[in-house]
Amino acid sequence: MVSAAPVRLADYSPWPFALPAIHLAVDIRPGDVLVTSRLDLEPRGGAEALQLRGVDLEICSIKLNGDDVAGDDYSYRDQLLTIHSPPSKPFVLETCCRIDPYNNSSLEGLYVSGGLLSTQCEAEGFRRITFHPDRPDVLSRWTVRIEASRASCPVLLSNGNAISEEELTDGRHAVTWKDPFPKPSYLFALVAGELREIRDLYTTASGRAVTLRLHVEEGDEPYSTHAMESLKRSMAWDEQVYQLEYDLDEYNIVAVRHFNMGAMENKSLNIFNSKLVLADAETATDAELERIESVIAHEYFHNWSGNRITCRDWFQLSLKEGLTVFRDQSFTADLHSAAVKRIEDVAMLRNTQFREDAGPTAHPVKPAEYQAIDNFYTTTIYEKGAELIRMLHTLLGQERFMRGMATYVSRFDGTAATTEDFVQSIVDGAAQDGQPLGFDSERFKRWYHQAGTPELTVQRQWDAVKGELTLELRQSTPPTPGQTEKQPLVLPIAVALVGEKGRIGEEQLLVMDGDQASLTLQGDPGSAAPALSLLRRFSAPVNVQLEQSLQESLQLLAHDDDPFSRWDAGQRLARQVLLARASGEPDATVEAALIQALRQRLNAFDGGGGQDLAVLLALPGTAELEALQNPVDPPALYAARREWIAELGRQLADPLNQLLDVCRGEWPQAWPAGQGGRSLTGLAWSWLAAAGDAEARNQALEAVSGPSMTLARAALRALQPMEVDERDLALDRFYQRWQDKPVILDAWFALEASAPRTDGLQRVQALLEHPRFDPLAPNSLRAVLGGFTANVPVFHAIDGSGYRFMADQIAAVDRRNPITASRMAKVFSRWSSYGVDRQSAMRQAIDQLAAGELSSNTAEVVAMLRT
Ligand code: PHE
Ligand code: ZN
């Protein structure tokens, strides 16, 4: 295993040079690329050697103030170029290097994706392009000249504005770009190739005309409208809500097929995974359309939260990511249903981030050290980071929070900041009204350094005479790797009482910042104890320990005015049902009560706003069930879920069939309209089909050939877990229809790989050799291998064959693409929670992986799994 010394937050020191300007000349040739870089360097303070990063660069020349640097005046080893004694006055360093993007499968730096040359520099990819400090606190003004053959690369893009175009001999041409805003190297981008352009115009609030250009492969032009409209909505929203306007004359988005992540916010030249650009109702589901809208928004919002104000170092990653996720969540909530958005985000947080926080890769929102920063693009940095911003917003309210944001922007625009800078700005801006802050901001900052999900334990006492409910609350955070001692955190806890006619009295916000707190809520004297609506809107990212009776959950489900708490009550009951079934002892009382409550909801539904009902009916995710099971038995949980779905289908057949009648009218409505009806349809098909309803299976099969991708995919999901002819027919029809569209075919690969068949493993092997499978595309890899790990009976086979297979695949991917491999290795993070047999089988697979030669990225993850 490659093992590098870890990088520590505590070791931060500024770079000893300033780099105000960079001139790049990129010469694209058929077999390689020459990169000439001119760095204007200014020593700051003492005489120090100049150290620049460089990975896989072949040096052609190095010149200092125009003269060749002699061989013993520099060294290049261990990815570091050292100029031993640079001048003490400002100087110019010019390097020329040869790089080979045509054989770069890591998808970092400059690489080829389907004939297109494109870059990915976050976090540390720029060092694969040329020598550079490659750290986010070194900001420069960039000029970039790109030269290539016009035939193969008619389009040449980089950041900022195109300032000149040249026609050269031999069919070559060049374009020069200049970005007026100083930026770090991770925001550099370059794209060269043959692309079709879709153009639009946006006029900002202050009247700046911005040309919007979307660049896609030939033939994909018709699928660009949704992304373009989403971009315009994002630009308008940031003006209205944050008073932040776009700052350049053009904004470019390029879609590429081979991309490790979702998308990248390079200044004025966003590069997107093509699955997050290309979409319409026939080719993408409603959920995908919403996701595309939110990612377009996310990258656009980075222009202020990330680009204009960037991160001092990578430990501050959540400074831009947590904040930008919070901003994109708010955007989606404003444009669509705020309640549904919050519920979906909490479900995702509980099923991904809480799991991470409870396992061997747990880390704080601001980690203290890392080996490979790529391993820290996690749900903790992103989603938990967003929860921290949301808590600040809850604690301060909209107006004070926005004043804080304005303070942050005015203090730090054009600089590289820290999360402390951010919190202090928010607090200072909020306090401009002279009112007390309402919480201890120093204690709040602990959230950034402390890993693990806090447990909130609540006990209560009802005084019927006075009508008072007294709560005793305690918080504690379980130990996480390397962090055994935990401190109390600031928890904003929104609570209310709920009686048979709805909420009693006002909601209260308890701000807890010690181990214990108590609170008294006023109810109706002389009445029975009211239900407790706790942690409304999920006001803090914690696990709650509170005894709640069936009666109380039903009361909340029926009468709580907070949609999140209502949903949560239903989820609690569903979790009880599923866990009881998984343990082999179904709870008939809870099952009957839950079915009765769902029946009422279904009967009351008469169309419109169906998304609320759809989330209410959705079953809890596997990860949150596993967190409540000890030892975890994935096949038992999987079987329990399938049986419960079948039971729901049998018991609720009549209302579900009526539901289908009501929803059919909404099928043709264009997103975002009609999505409720389509969601409910999918749910009804899935439940009815599981109960053996042939008519539902038929309807589903037909939808696979219909005009709505949402319905087609819902149909496939309904049929896929079952051994029925319609399943194979449906999968086959889908394949036949979409075999030429890789982005869509990935959904087919995922469904095939996760189909619980007895010969599942052989089938997955065959998929990896399928002619349409592209082993260099992370999307395809995730579809097949991610689909496989979701194939519970096959992946978790008790003989360990699924685990061994996965370990082999991860090792193979690691040789080509360490970033994607190390992300995949995290599928083994739950090993110690399983029963003995699975535990030792999974542990063996991890050891097998560790024994091979691994990239430092994957080695770091594997080492975390083994401690
Ligand atoms: N910064 C990107 C985003 O959150 C994510 C990303 C990270 C993309 C690293 C590529 C590489 O929008
Ligand atoms: Zn981001």
**CA-based diameter of the chain, in Å?**
94
Answer yes or no: do 469 and 354 share one domain: no
Structure token pair of residue 562: 């907070």
How many angstroms separate the alpha carbon of residue 713 from the centre of ligand 1? Answer: 28
- Complete DSSP assignment for 180-240: EEEE-GGG--EEEE--EEEEEEEE-TT--EEEEEEEE-TT-GGG-HHHHHHHHHHHHHHHH
How many angstroms separate the alpha carbon of residue 459 from the centre of ligand 2? Answer: 39
Q: What is the CATH number of the domain that holds 168?
A: 2.60.40.1730
Neighbours of 720 (CB within 10 A): 18
The string of pLDDT tens digits covering residues 194-203 is 999 999 999 9
- Is 299 catalytic? The answer is yes
Rounded Cα–Cα distance for residues 287 and 153 (Å): 35
- Which ligand is closest in space to the CA of residue 323? 2
In this structure, is residue 92 part of a structural domain?
A: yes
Cβ-based burial of 201 (10 A; exposed 0-12, middle 13-18, buried ≥19): exposed
Q: What is the CATH number of the domain that holds 708?
A: 1.25.50.10
493 with 535: CB under 8 angstroms? yes
Answer yes or no: do 12 and 134 share one domain: yes
In this structure, is residue 253 part of a structural domain?
A: no
In this structure, is residue 65 part of a structural domain?
A: yes
In this structure, is residue 240 part of a structural domain?
A: no
Neighbours of 166 (CB within 10 A): 11
Answer yes or no: do 487 and 607 share one domain: no
Q: Which helix (H) or strand (E) holds 569?
A: helix 563-582
Nearest to 755 by CA among 803, 718, 704, 714: 718
pLDDT of residue 2: 44
Return the residue whose CA atom lies nearest to atom 3 of ligand 1: 264
pLDDT of residue 3: 53
Answer yes or no: do 706 and 811 share one domain: yes
Atom of ligand 1 nearest to the CA of 382: 4
Rounded Cα–Cα distance for residues 221 and 223 (Å): 5
Which of 140, 171, 194 terminates a domain? The answer is 194
448 with 421: CB under 8 angstroms? no
Cβ-based burial of 61 (10 A; exposed 0-12, middle 13-18, buried ≥19): exposed
Distance between start and end Cα atoms, the chain: 15
- ipTM value > 0.85: yes
The string of pLDDT tens digits covering residues 349-370 is 999 999 999 999 999 999 999 9
Annotated active-site residue in 94, 265, 299, 647: 299
Answer yes or no: do 664 and 797 share one domain: yes
Q: How far is CA 546 from the centre of its chain?
A: 30
Residue in the block written with tokens 């010019």: 94
Instruction: Going from the first residue of the chain to its last (867 residues), give the mean pLDDT of each consecutive group of 10, the final group possibly shorter.
Output: 78 97 98 98 89 98 98 97 96 98 98 97 98 98 99 98 98 98 99 98 98 97 98 99 98 98 98 98 97 98 98 98 99 98 98 98 98 97 99 98 98 98 98 98 98 98 98 98 98 98 97 98 97 98 98 98 98 98 98 98 93 98 97 98 98 98 97 98 98 98 98 98 98 98 98 97 98 98 98 98 98 98 98 98 98 97 96
Torsion of CA 760, 762, 764, 768, to 10 degrees: -170
Rounded Cα–Cα distance for residues 316 and 331 (Å): 23
Reduce the DSSP state of residue 404 to 3 states and report it. helix
In this structure, is residue 199 part of a structural domain?
A: no
Return the residue whose CA atom lies nearest to atom 12 of ligand 1: 264
What is the pTM assigned to this prediction?
0.99
Rounded Cα–Cα distance for residues 723 and 720 (Å): 8
Q: What is the CATH number of the domain that holds 333?
A: 1.10.390.10
pLDDT of residue 609: 84
Rounded Cα–Cα distance for residues 566 and 137 (Å): 46
Atom of ligand 1 nearest to the CA of 260: 10
**Domain boundaries, position 671:** 565-866
The type of residue at 371 is: Q
In this structure, is residue 555 part of a structural domain?
A: no
Return the residue whose CA atom lies nearest to atom 1 of ligand 1: 264
Answer yes or no: do 405 and 522 share one domain: no
74 vs 35, 67, 134, CA distance in Å? 19, 13, 19
Answer yes or no: do 440 and 491 share one domain: no
Q: What is the CATH number of the domain that holds 486?
A: 2.60.40.1840
Residue in the block written with tokens 């020459």: 34
Nearest to 336 by CA among 675, 838, 791: 675
DSSP H helical ranges for 431-489: 441-444, 446-449
Answer yes or no: do 415 and 504 share one domain: no
Atom of ligand 1 nearest to the CA of 259: 10
Q: Where are the beta strands (DSSP E) in 500-656?
A: 502-512, 516-522, 531-534, 543-545
In this structure, is residue 417 part of a structural domain?
A: yes
Rounded Cα–Cα distance for residues 280 and 222 (Å): 8
In this structure, is residue 238 part of a structural domain?
A: no
How many angstroms separate the alpha carbon of residue 769 from the centre of ligand 2? Answer: 34
Q: What are phi and psi of 19, to 5 degrees?
A: -130, 75
Neighbours of 89 (CB within 10 A): 9
Identify the residues whose C-beta falls under 6 Å from ligand 1.
120, 122, 260-261, 263-265, 298-299, 321, 377
Split into its structural domains, the chain has a count of 4
Answer yes or no: do 527 and 675 share one domain: no
How many angstroms separate the alpha carbon of residue 830 from the centre of ligand 1? Answer: 26
Rounded Cα–Cα distance for residues 95 and 474 (Å): 60
Q: How far is CA 214 from the centre of its chain?
A: 23
Answer yes or no: do 158 and 57 share one domain: yes
Structure token pair of residue 427: 């607090």
Which of 397, 418, 449 terminates a domain? The answer is 449
Rounded Cα–Cα distance for residues 26 and 30 (Å): 13
The type of residue at 507 is: E
Atom of ligand 1 nearest to the CA of 123: 9
Which of 131, 160, 194 terminates a domain? The answer is 194
Rounded Cα–Cα distance for residues 345 and 543 (Å): 15
Nearest to 239 by CA among 290, 304, 180: 304
Answer yes or no: do 591 and 740 share one domain: yes
Reduce the DSSP state of residue 250 to 3 states and report it. strand
How many angstroms separate the alpha carbon of residue 264 from the centre of ligand 1? Answer: 5
Rounded Cα–Cα distance for residues 754 and 761 (Å): 10
Answer yes or no: do 502 and 647 share one domain: no
* 3-state DSSP percent of the chain in helix, strand and coil, to 5: 45, 25, 30
